[in-house]
Amino acid sequence: MLEQPTAHLDVSAMLAAGAMPFLLGGSFYRWRYSRRLEHELHAARRAERRLRHEVHRDKLTGLANRAALEADIRQALCTEGPAFERNALLLLDLDRFKAINDTMGHDAGDRLLALFGARLRRAFSGEATVYRLGGDEFVLTAGGASSQAEAEMLAARVKALFEAPFDLGEAQVASGCSIGIAFVERTDTATGEVLKRADLALYEAKAVSGNSHAFHSEILTHAAQQRAEAERDVARGLENSEFFLEFLPIAGAASGAIRAFEALLRWQHPLRGVIGEQAFIEPSEQSPGTRSLGYWTLKAACTEAERWPSPTGLTVAPFAPQLKERDFVEQVRQCLGETGLPAGRLTIEVTGDFSTEDLALIADNLKGLRALGVRIALGGGAGSSLPLNLIAELQPHQVTIDLTAIRATHGSERSVALLSCLIKTGQVLRLAIAVRGIEKESEVDCAQASGAVEVRGPWISPALTDVTALLKAGAATDLRRSA
């Protein structure tokens, strides 16, 4: 019987024909599945790392962001026992950033942020972590900086980063920053607690002009609580119609006849009685209700002034934050339209000290008001000179000299002589000069002889709730004779 030849398998041919799964059974499928699963797992891990990086990284500067800061502080607060470190947290806010954004555009502002972030990263690489919270706010945290002296050194190094200007392409700009310093304490339970303390310190640092720092203290916390309480009180007072206006007569220095009235905000407080705005102006300026209260004041004053015989004028001194609002010109336009008061009868008086950052926006708003036909007065001259820098920047129609402030600074004997000098200086500059705070006949005589255009104060007339009787007496009424 012939032996059958042994069959030889052509593996190559069978592989080409797709017979390998048949030969190996289910093991090949399991191998392919495990390889695919491994690839998918690696891809998922890469995607997770990329997502984590994106979630914790600021796109503009490449720095860690707020989410990363919260995660890092949360981890630090979870550390127990001796391993816990009391670290300094520096909250940084760029000076003049808003002015750069407004005048040079958002691209220039973004470039400034990116350049500052790069300087911070290079300066503190390996010894501190830098975060960008958003806008022009940055945070610096450093391990081992547990004392005020060590935090002071960090703040000094941050401020030194502004010694060289920033090249924004179309121009080089100088800047600075305000720094609020707090410490991550064992008693903290959340990132927000640390940031709140640092923000209170930052608020204090901003009160000092340029490249300044401040540490948090319990005094700042107490002051913040008082401000918050006052802000709630103002909001309640506005809701309950507790605010009202008085009007201070403004007379021509030469004629003594009524020319205008200054609107003065008053508060019929349920506990404190009637109080003037100086008693609540500071908390209300920082309150979110400032816009509502300021607009109420402007509209109520214009509504009243519209009833006065033309050309009797109205002077209103807005809160400082109002002057920096982007839509302030539109607010005034709307108010004039709703009340029917002609723009030429309204004078906006600008008072207070302003930073360089604020001046650009205020000057732009005042330019818009002048285009409407509104008059601009600059409240200044409280010392022995006129505020020449503000006069050049804001271009007012007139400057109002505060004689009360001069008297408080230099005494009654010198106040009249200084008043005369200031008025004459204004004449040299071709500025109309008004005087407020007149308390004596000699002061009104000095204002008249020196060439002032307007006077107001207790010797002329006290502030009045109802000016109807005074206006009925006619425009020629000499307030000096009735004082």
**pLDDT grade, residue 303 (50/70/90)?**
very high
Q: How is residue 256 written in tokens?
A: 């003594």
Express each pLDDT in 308-363 by its tens digit.
999 999 999 998 888 888 889 999 999 999 999 999 999 999 987 776 667 888 89
Omega prior to 311 cis, within 30 of 0: yes
pLDDT at 146: 79
Q: How far, in Å, are 131, 144, 235, 467 from residue 127 at the CA level? A: 14, 9, 46, 68
CB atoms within 10 A of CB 369: 21
Q: Please give the single-letter amino acid code of residue 355.
A: S
The pTM of the full predicted model, rounded to 2 decimals, is 0.68
Q: How is residue 120 written in tokens?
A: 């911070």
Residue 318, CB half-sphere, CA atoms under 13 Å: how many?
28
Q: How is residue 347 written in tokens?
A: 């004078």
Express each pLDDT in 33-73 by its tens digit.
676 776 667 666 665 555 555 577 888 999 999 999 998 88
Classify strands 64-65 and 129-134 as parallel, antiparallel or unpaired: parallel
Closest CA relative to residue 284, chosen from 239, 325, 228: 228
